[in-house]
Each structure stands twice: as C-alpha cells, then as structure tokens.
Amino acid sequence: MGFSLTVTEKWSGLTLEAVLRDELAFSKKTIHQWRMEKGIHINGELTPWKNTLSEGDILTFALDDPAPSYPPSQMDIDVLFQDDHLIIVNKPSQTDTHPNEPGQNNTLVNAVVHYELQSGRTGYIQPIHRLDRDTTGAILFAKHSAIKPLLDQMLEKRDIRRTYTAIVQGEVKIAKGTINQPIGKDRHHATRRRISPGGQKAVTHYKKIRYDAASNTTILSLTLDTGRTHQIRVHLSSIGHPIVGDTLYGAKKAGHSYQALHASSLSFVHPFTGELVDVDAPEPLKRRL
C-alpha cells in the first residue's frame, strides 16, 4: 500500500527532494529511506531526484505499514471528514479514544480500524490526540505512517486548532477570559489533576455564549494554548464553575450520566494538499439545556 500526491503549481520547478524537505516537512530519515528503497515514483517511473517537477505530475509513495494497528471492532462511527491520508470522527460519550489496558478493544480507534478494513484499506490507524472517555466530539486519526509525524508536529506547534463547548454550573459573569494556571497530579487521587505551582503550564481561553437561568448553567466556548490532561475540567472547576456532570471536579450529581464537554470543531491546513480542513462536529450539548 501507499499513497499518491499531485504536484501543485507551488511545487512546479522544484526538485523532488526540495518538495519532500521544504514543502512537506518530512524528516531526513524518512527522505533517506525513500531514496534508498526507491520508494517514490514520478508518473509511474523511477526518475532522478535532481530533476524538476511539473504541475500535474503524480508522485506515488510506497509504504510498508503494519496492519491493522489495533484489533478491529464493529461499532457505528460518525465520519466528519476523510481522504486517503486522514480521518476525523465524532466521538460519542462513554467511549475511550484508545485501549487503556490489555485486551480492551471496544474503543473508538478499534471502530475506526474496522471501518478502514471494510473500506478495503490496510487498517493502519493512529490517533493524533485524544478525548476523555465522557467527552464527545471531533478526533483526528492518521491513515498511514507517513502523515502521522507531520500531524504530530502540527499538534505540538498548535497548528491544529481545536474548539470546545462546555456547559458549566452557575452564571459565568465575565464575558471572556483566560485561565493561566499550572496543572499537576493530585497525589491523593490516582486519576485526578489539580492546580499546582510546580505543575505544567496550562492556558485556557473561554468565551461566554449564553446563560440559562432555568438550569443555572452557562454555555462556554473554549480554546487551549496547551493540552494538559483534564485541562478544561480542572481550570473551570478552579474558577468555581465545574462542568455539568463532572463530579470528579466538584459538579453536583445530576439526573444524567453525561459530562457536558464537547470538542465542537477542528481546523488546520492539510499538510499534503495545502487546503484548509475546517470541520464542525454536531453539538448535542446545546440541545440538552
């Protein structure tokens, strides 16, 4: 298995190596491996890498991905966007992103592997980020090993913009603000995190969408500068507005089991096509008030 890319006008006149190194940002190790293994064809032929490319040329990349990367498991999934390189799925609540213990195979990644195998692909699937078990919304997965490190780099550089929607207890008075508090482990609880002076830097931006007096809850839109475990949950609890349903961080017990946090959108420039991928995930939270 492999993948193909079409040379754009921007790449025309460049050498293959320049495109791989400067335009697509592949690592030196990856480029060297393709060169040694003669793993890239131009218009179906092995062509010297010093030759310049022309718009419309087809670059075909050979890949030797292990498959499947996780055991497949039958589960309906909500695909928000996909192409030959990546797939974005709307994660339901009460579902882990990936296995957390040996033998666990009822996670979202297992379901996406099954979906890919049913589509005739290798089943190589790797999550680029994760959501807590009770958090819903958009998650990005790599479909092959060549794009995964590029997406990982984009996530690390914050070139993948993620927006969240949360319903919190009480009325948030300030229309918008930033919570800049370091987060560390809670030594008294195995899974909980807490605000800690010695913790990792964590920055959360929020904007008030609306307040619902009947339920005494506020809907917030949030973006992150950092991606700490439980970051939004810890930060909102720290200002006295825990997320509805999040009893781990101080929310009152409610007559439902959901945690009202949703990854509502995902936006980034596709590393191969240069096109903007801007995906909105259906927001069930707004229908719960």
d(CA 49, CA 62): 16
* Phi, psi (rounded to 5 degrees) for 224: -120, 140
* Phi, psi (rounded to 5 degrees) for 237: -65, -35
Plot region of 36 (φ>0 → left; ψ -120 to 50 → alpha; else → beta): alpha
Six-digit token string for 227: 């991606």
d(CA 287, CA 289): 6
Is residue 116 within 8 A of residue 125, CB to CB? The reply is yes
From the list 132, 212, 246, 278, the catalytic residue is 132
d(CA 218, CA 240): 12
Active site residue 132: yes
d(CA 223, CA 206): 7
Is residue 192 within 8 A of residue 186, CB to CB? The reply is yes
* CB neighbourhood size of 44 (10 A): 8
Q: Is 185 helix (H, G, I), strand (E, B) or coil?
A: strand
Six-digit token string for 244: 């509805």
The residues annotated with a catalytic role in the active site are: 132
